[in-house]
Amino acid sequence: VGGQGPQAGSPTEEVCPSPSPSRDKRLPPGPFVPTWLPAHSRGHLRVTYRIPSPVGRRIPWEYSSSRITFPGMNAAVRAVTRMGIYVGAKVFLIYEGYEGLVEGGDNIKQANWLSVSNIIQLGGTVIGSARCKAFTTRAGRLRAARNLVEHGITNLCVIGGDGSLTGADIFRSEWAGLLEELVRDGQISEEVAKKNCRLNIVGLVGSIDNDFCGTDMTIGTDSALHRIMEVIDAITTTAQSHQRTFVLEVMGRHCGYLALVSGLASGADWLFIPESPPEDGWEDLMCERLGETRSRGSRLNIIIIAEGAIDRSGKPISSNYVKDLVVQRLGFDTRVTVLGHVQRGGTPSAFDRVLSSKMGMEAVMALLEATPDTPACVVSLSGNQSVRLPLMECVQVTKDVQKAMDEKRFEEAIQLRGRSFENNWNIYKLLAHQKPAQEKSPFSMAILNVGAPAAGMNAAVRSAVRIGICQGHTIYVVSDGFEGLAKGQVREVGWHDVAGWLGRGGSMLGTKRTLPKTCMEKIVENVRKFNIQGLLVIGGFEAYEGVLQLVEARGQYEELCIVMCVIPATISNNVPGTDFSLGSDTAVNAAMESCDRIKQSASGTKRRVFIVETMGGYCGYLSTVTGIAVGADAAYVYEDPFTIHDLKANVEHLTDKMKTDIQRGLVLRNEKCHEHYTTEFLYNLYSSEGKGIFDCRINVLGHLQQGGAPTPFDRNYGTKLGVKAVLWMSEKLQQVYSKGRVFANSGDTACVIGLRKKAVAFSPVTELKKVTDFEHRLPQEQWWLNLRLMLKMLANYQISLTEYISGQMEHVTRRTLSIEKGF
């Protein structure tokens, strides 16, 4: 397709053949013309279609991966390939990275829709990757240019780290000179050179280290954290049994992100990262703290060290050195585990699959909309949105981090990593070891869980308890939610009472769905009895609704004029005031793993369609995101109404699919998506309409979506929310404390804490009431509905590209890095 979109205000026609059938039902099949029209209201270019002129040209592009592999690459290959074909382009896969680009021949193959089927769940990359010295030379890049010109390729989508992407930018800057040299040597004609006069570049950042500045997360990082946490959870059980100390070495030669987040998510006793070397004399302090932990009854110690860890003088700190130190000084039975390339392997997590799919689609649109003045860009994640960033700006800031570390400006290096990295580091230091409060606070807080259990609840309770103790507050925990508060099931807790809670699923406190209105007077009585001045409620929609009931009862009961905060924790992700609830990431991964196994079971059975029912109440988040992560053919949700005509179209779509080499289908259904079109109805419909073509099976995933150990995201997210909630409550308590008592009756003293796009925000429950659908227990607006377009496009449904909203070009500066990022 024409990758050289004209300047806004001067549209130019470039013709390419459309996919078949036509993507827009309003147009007849056949060639179409993408015309770039400025969409000033959104600040991006919108693609529309008009009847084509008889003459046109097609400019294909290629996809290349380079050097090191990591989970999520295949999802990106799939998304770029399918989106490219979707918009009518020729798409080529370049095998073995830059080496295949230089060698050419069979390493460059045209792809079709089915070329990338059933790869989204695979680790590594199906198109291979290799280091290539030849591409670092001009002669090698000249051969690569010759191979691209032979195939008419003028658009490159490259996935890799800053080295691979910098190489692509150099290749782009030399393109005109390389073509001139090829013409001069007689290898191509001037006409061919003119036709391929410009090379467009877009990059997808892949690195398990998450060391590329400008993006919240790089492809592969979340999957690597999953591998690390699986090992830590396994090691924890044996360490407790044998009272051992384990030193775990994780990857991160120049960046300590993996070590930092895994340390935060596991509650490690000591942590080494290259960005913040320990102070001189750290050996004595570390051994002292490990000894204190054991003396308080702990049966294990976990020390996490990044492979690039150094001391203040720049001398490497090795895992074996740390082990010998512990053995010699403390006599503890100590073992070293070096995780190595285990972190690069395995099945990609749901987050990486969705991230790669989102970035891959945006990369194609970036190439479509590129102009001669557009710099080479990378597609990045900002909050939950895709954005485009100038490649070399990101590379420069990334290099600035290393320069700061080399010059021993370590505080600056941490700041350049971004606000999220800095927050993680500060929160780890707060929670790793108990620090006596400077003075005893007059305030007391109670923490309780409400609603269905969700992974990450225990992480939030642990961090809230510990940060509250650091603030000098008296901290109570309540068993069994509001019902337990009414019954007086309240007890004071200390720092070590919540040790080991981080990796536990479910709710250690116990939780129930009972709402306060059923036992309001008894709740008020116990609030008065225990002198509770702050209430932290961790739970789902019932937690939000319960706090709202307490706020509305303030006029009747003065005891309820206290500070209240809700931490959303539900697999349904249906609490207003946040984009993500605790537990939803774990639930998506659990559903995804089940669907992967279901798909695999069909590998020996031809022509089978699975109807899978997910939880979530009326909220279709779980069904939609799982559908994207497993490459589902359809996902039915309440928020996106469907009719019998849509069901008929889905059946016909699957019937056509069964005529190809991919003879299986996967359809997800949210449990309350439709009153009449039940799971049983869908099974009967698909079975009847597909009779003789395919057969059907039903799978109801049920409560397995609520169980299991929390994912690294939910552990980290719960820890952060617990800390931020208690710090906010402490600040509010100071504001409303007067003459020895707390009196909080304003709306802003009872809030939901949540992640809103980039930042953590506090939203008053009284304000959220206005944007809540209480009948269906949903926020009236939900950001993730935009993801449904991606699900349908990658499943090959006929959707007009006019519905796609492209990401905007942004810039990377020290100021943008200081904006707090949720991830």
Binding site per annotation, positions for beta-D-fructose 2,6-bisphosphate: 513, 570-574, 608, 615-617, 671, 697, 703-706, 777
- Identify whether 480 is a catalytic site residue: no
CB-CB contact of 256 with 275 (8 Å):
yes
Q: How far apart are CA 408 and CA 415, in angstroms?
A: 13
Closest among 38, 14, 18, 15 to 27, alpha carbons compared: 18
CB-CB contact of 620 with 670 (8 Å):
yes
Crossing angle (nearest 10°) for helices 787-794 and 621-630:
40
Give, in degrees to the nearest 5, the angle at Cα 498 between 497 and 499.
95
Query: Which residue's entry shows tokens 């003065």?
Result: 558
Annotated binding residues for ATP, as ranges?
Answer: 131-132, 161-164
CB-CB contact of 161 with 68 (8 Å):
yes
CB-CB contact of 72 with 223 (8 Å):
yes
Question: Of 209, 211, 216, 579, which is the active-site residue?
Answer: 209
Across the strands, what pairs with 537? 448, 566
3-class DSSP assignment, residue 324: helix
Per DSSP, helices labelled H in 500-573 are: 520-529, 541-552
- Using left for φ > 0, alpha for ψ between -120 and 50, and beta otherwise, residue 403 falls in alpha
Closest among 579, 536, 124, 680 to 347, alpha carbons compared: 124
Across the strands, what pairs with 748? none
Q: How far apart are CA 35 and CA 13, in angstroms?
A: 6
- Written as six digits, the tokens of 392 are 């070399």
CA distances from 654 to 175, 610, 683 (A): 44, 11, 14
Burial class (CB in 10 A: 0-12, 13-18, 19+), 43: exposed
Across the strands, what pairs with 62? 92, 156
| One-letter amino acid of 281 | G
Number of H-type helices and E-type strands within the chain: 25, 29
Q: How far apart are CA 49 and CA 562, in angstroms?
A: 58
- Using left for φ > 0, alpha for ψ between -120 and 50, and beta otherwise, residue 557 falls in beta
Specify the DSSP class assigned to residue 746. S
Q: Which residues are the active-site residues?
A: 209
